[in-house]
Amino acid sequence: MTILVILIPAALFLGLVGLLGFFWAVRTGQFDDPEGNARRILLDDDLDEMGPDN
């Protein structure tokens, strides 16, 4: 039963750290464009590098 004295505050502390990390990520703009990179990876950049004469 005494282990709960350690585990409950540890769980609350880790939850608070995660919540603060989430708020930091939102405030610094980490979630501004979640779809941009997912679509950008599908673009074919090789066509731009070849030029018009190839």
List alpha helices for 1-54, DSSP H.
3-27, 36-40, 46-50
Q: Which residue has the tokens 């919540």?
A: 19
pLDDT score recorded for residue 47: 59
Six-digit token pair at 12?
């609350």
Of 54 and 17, the structure prediction assigns the larger pLDDT to: 17
Q: Which residue has the tokens 């989430």?
A: 22
pLDDT score recorded for residue 19: 98
Question: Band of the pLDDT at 1, cuts 50, 70, 90?
Answer: confident
Is residue 10 within 8 A of residue 16, CB to CB? The reply is no
2-52 residue pLDDT tens: 999 999 999 999 999 999 999 999 999 888 877 777 787 787 766 555 555
